[in-house]
Amino acid sequence: MTRSQRPSNGAAALPPDSLAFAFSRAATLVESVIGGANLTDAFEAMLLAHPQWPDATRGAVRDLAWGTLRDYGRGDALLHQLLHKPLPEAIHALLLVAMYRLDSRPEQAHTAVNQAVEVAAALLPALKGVVNGVLRNRLRNAAALDAEIAGDEAARYRHPAWWVERLRTSFPDAWEAALAAGNQRPPMGLRVNRLRASLESVAGELDQAGLAFRSLVNEALVLERPVAVAGLPGFAEGRVSVQDAGAQWAARWLDLAAGQRVLDACAAPGGKSAHILETAAVNLLALELDATRTRRIEENFRRLGVSAQVRTADCRKRAAWWDGEPFDRILADVPCSASGVARRHPDIKWLRRPEDIARFAAQQAEILDALWPTLAAGGKLLYVTCSLFDEENGMQIERFCSCHPDALRLPIDGQVECQLLPNADHDGFYYALVGKHR
């Protein structure tokens, strides 16, 4: 980068309530993710450094960064057509954000171009003409450019080509709908804490607050429009929690009864553990590898008025946490590719590599094999991922059952297994239930 191409700190001088300011901050996040950073961590660090930002600024930066990264496959392909030589990373990221805005708010196209040029003027004045030219070119030649990238799968489906191929193979009738749903903003699911409220009373509170919702068969509620948690009636008092509707099957399918010994082996932030405790008076041990995340389980339990033994431990190292008493139920909600929740974490789509999936699968196999001896004869283990990839799901459980002759596949809702694909109601999850022979 030459001296005139080095970003100045001029973006700090942009008015904080302007679209230009939101563009510049969203572009910083996008640039970090392209460089390999985790989007949520980068955003949290940004907010920590700028506690004075009003909610509207935080929201605008978040919407632009998340939206740009959901659409990154398309933006990247378009820039490939529009640029003749590489630009500094900050300007490249700014163009991606501005192009996302052009697509999502076409009625404000000219404002978007002007605001992006202002950011460039503040960052790298020598390149403001380039930013202006690229964006105007995009607007002028929209149809031709769209035709040019029509054959590019990552652009068309806004997911990496290898990801598209895996879904096409696994779900010949549903892959396109799953990818399309994966590009939408995620729904906001709610769980009612039956120890403190009824479905009817929470429905009444939501009505009173003017929050429209729908109820699903598993008694999860889905808001028609997501709101900030602070604006959710009953949240602070522990009557209601935010939990995706797809995650609310775990407590049901575990077939819980009072007095059972239950293990949640990978528990943080504690959503499914809390649901278990709200469902039946069981004796629960919640394990979590990461001590910071263990604290989130404890905070959630306090808010909801439930209690259990919570420990920071690696569930694969049994000697460190198991007292030798078998469990009647085990929930193994294992770490995974998170490909079923990529619309909540769009950086995942672009940071994961195909070879990462085998690494997750190996880790999941280790966890399953380590937990199996702790399950009582006649007990049940529910295996859960938020993945759409067979290696982490059906293939994993088939491998497990073929290695453990005392393992027996049990039906879930009359099916061998349950693969939920992302849709308007819930994220993507996989469930399999395994029993142990008596």
Ligand X SMILES: C[S@@+](CC[C@H](N)C(=O)[O-])C[C@H]1O[C@@H](n2cnc3c(N)ncnc32)[C@H](O)[C@@H]1O
Euclidean distance between CA atoms 329 and 341, whole angstroms:
26
Checking 114-119 for CB contacts under 8 A at 24+ apart, the result is: 115/18, 115/19, 115/20, 115/23, 116/20, 116/23, 118/14, 118/18, 118/20, 119/11, 119/14, 119/20, 119/23, 119/24, 119/27, 119/94
Can you tell me the distance from the alpha carbon of 213 to that of 165, in angstroms, rounded to the nearest whole number? 35
- Identify the residue among 19, 91, 285, 287 touching ligand X (CB under 6 A): 287
Among 42, 90, 92, 101, smallest CA distance to 67 is for: 101
Select 20 or 262, whichever has its Cβ closest to ligand X. Answer: 262
Contact range with ligand X by CB under 6 A, out of 11-19, 24-32, 102-110, 313-321: 313-321
Indicate the residue among 270 and 422 with the shorter CB distance to ligand X: 270
426 sits near ligand X (criterion: CB under 6 A): no
Q: Does 76 bind ligand X (CB under 6 A)?
A: no
Taking CB under 6 A as the binding criterion, the range among 51-59, 121-129, 314-322, 410-418 that sits at the site for ligand X is: 314-322
CB of 39 to ligand X, least distance (A): 17
290 binds ligand X (CB under 6 A): yes
Contact letters for ligand X, residues 332-361 (x by CB under 6 A): -x-x--------------------------
Q: Which stretch binds ligand X (CB under 6 A): 55-63, 99-107, 120-128, 285-293?
A: 285-293
| Residue 272 lies near ligand X (rule: CB under 6 A) | yes
Give the annotated binding-site residues: 266-272, 288, 314, 333
CB-wise, 202 or 371, nearer to ligand X? 371
Query: Of 271, 340, 379, 422, which one interacts with ligand X (CB under 6 A)?
Result: 271
Q: Determine which one of 386, 401, 403, 418 is catalytic.
A: 386
Taking CB under 6 A as the rule, does residue 270 contact ligand X? yes
Residue 269 in contact with ligand X, rule: CB under 6 A: yes
Closest separation in Å from C-beta 341 to ligand X: 9
Region near ligand X per CB under 6 A, out of 199-207, 284-292, 388-396, 420-428: 284-292
* Whether 386 is catalytic: yes
Tell me the residue type at 70.
Answer: R
179 binds ligand X, rule: CB under 6 A: no
In whole angstroms, give the CA distance from residue 312 to residue 204. 38
Count of residues near ligand X by CB under 6 A: 20
CB of 331 to ligand X, least distance (A): 7
Closest CB to ligand X among 289 and 351?
289
Q: Please, which residue, 136 or 293, has the CB nearer to ligand X? A: 293
Nearer to ligand X, 92 or 349 (CB): 349
Known catalytic residues are 386
The residues binding ligand X (CB under 6 A) are 247, 265-272, 287-290, 293, 314-316, 333, 335, 367
